[in-house]
Amino acid sequence: MPTVTRREFLKVGAAGAGALAASGLGFDVALAESNRVKQKLRIEGAKELHSICPYCAVGCSLVAYTRTNSDGTTQLLQIEGDPDSPVNEGRLCPKGATAMQLAVSPRRVESPLYRPAGATAWQKISWDDMLDKIARNIKASRDATFVATDGNGNTVNRTEGIAFAGGAAFSSEEGYFATKLMRGLGLVHLEQQARV
């Protein structure tokens, strides 16, 4: 075993997985299973891409296989642990192993929705109308609650009546961009999952 690399090992299949399970790790049945499924689904023309698990912050690397269908759409065939990663060496937990069901879900919000004050149901709204309304709300609340100079005569230039919270599922670059834009709007109430 010690002379077999992870990548070679994955090719060994079920017998190898059994040997590793005997070493007491306990993660290998799922791995062997995903390997078997991968071999079944990994057909000619599948594209191999790399991602990171969207759940906890262990940062397990994923390999995602996609195929471009004849109608031009992209089909996700399989997500599995990346055997090259020094973090997870191919392993995934139940959440990571089912990441496909988060990636492709019939429960996704299909289109922008709007619910006016006091309404009892969602209304469909176009992107353009929705973004316009949000921008107008931001400007109105910013103008209504902006403090340029505080009671002590200090220049503070802050928007007190708008808050932004989020980002633990953002790419870092999106998070940085959100910080930059929100500070640009003068926000002081800026928050994310690390606090809670």
Partner 1 sequence: MTNHWRDIKNTDLILINGANPAEAHPVGFQWFMRAKLDRGAKMIHADPRFTRTSAVADMYLRIRTGSDVAYFGGLINHVLQNNLFHDAYVRNYTNASFIVKDGFTFKDGLFSGYDPAKRSYNIASWSYETDPATGFAMRDKALQHPRSVFQLMKAHYSRYTPEMVSSITGIPAADFNKVAELVGQMGRPDKVMTIVYAVGLTHHTTGGQLIRSGAVLQLLLGNMGRPGGGMNAERGHANIQGNTDHAISWEILPGYLKIPAPGQKTIADYVAGSAPKKSDKNSWNFFGTNYSKFMVSTLKGWFGDAAKKSNEFAFDLIPKPAGNASWMTIYDQALKGKMEGLVLSGMTAASIGPDSNQVREALGNLKWLVVMDALPTTSSEFWHAPGVDASQVKTEVFMVPTTHWIEKDGSFVNSGRWSQWKDQVLPPEGQARHDHWILADVFQRVKKLYQSQGGKFPDPILALTFDYKDPLKPELDEIAKEINGKDLSTGKQMTSFALLKDDGTTTTGDWIYTGSYLDSGNLMKRRQGVQDVKANDPTGMGFFPNWAWSWPLNRRVMYNRASADLDGKPWDASRPGITWNGSRWVGDVPDYPPTMDPHDPAAWLPFIMNGEGVGRLFSNGMVDGPFPEHYEPVESPVANPLHAANSASPVAFLYDKAAGRPDRFGTAADFPYIATSYRLTEHEHYVTQHVPKLVQLQPKPFVEIPDELAREKGIKSGDHVRVSSKRGKVEVLALVTKRLGAMTVAGQKVYQIGIPIHWGYVGLAADSDPTHGRYWMANALTPFVGDANARTPEFKAFLVNLEKM
Query: Which of 19, 21, 55, 67: binder of partner 1 (CB under 8 A)?
Result: 55
Which one of 13-21, 33-41, 78-86 is the stretch in contact with partner 1 (CB under 8 A)? Answer: 78-86
29 touching partner 1, by CB under 8 A: no
58 touching partner 1, by CB under 8 A: yes
Cα 52 to chain centroid distance, Å, stands at 8
Long-range contacts of 1-10 (CB under 8 A, 24+ apart): 6/83, 6/84, 6/89, 6/90, 7/83, 7/84, 9/83, 10/35, 10/83, 10/90
Query: Which of 3, 15, 24, 44: binder of partner 1 (CB under 8 A)?
Result: 24
| The pair of three-digit structure tokens given for residue 86, joined into one six-digit string | 């020094």
Selection from 112, 109, 110 nearest residue 126 by Cα = 112
Helix (H) or strand (E) holding 152: none
User: Segment 141-180, which members bind partner 1 (CB under 8 A)?
Assistant: 141-148, 150, 152, 154-180
41 touching partner 1, by CB under 8 A: no
Closer CB to partner 1, 12 or 186, in the complex = 186
Largest CA distance in the chain: 75
Which one of 2-10, 14-22, 33-41 is the stretch in contact with partner 1 (CB under 8 A)? Answer: 2-10
Specify which residues 63 forms β-bridges with. Answer: 50, 80
Which one of 14-22, 32-40, 53-61 is the stretch in contact with partner 1 (CB under 8 A)? Answer: 53-61
Selection from 190, 131, 194, 132 nearest residue 159 by Cα = 190
115 touching partner 1, by CB under 8 A: yes
Query: Which of 42, 46, 67, 114: binder of partner 1 (CB under 8 A)?
Result: 114
14 touching partner 1, by CB under 8 A: no
d(CA 73, CA 71): 6
Query: Which of 18, 29, 36, 101: binder of partner 1 (CB under 8 A)?
Result: 101
User: Segment 120-139, which members bind partner 1 (CB under 8 A)?
Assistant: 120, 122, 127, 130-139
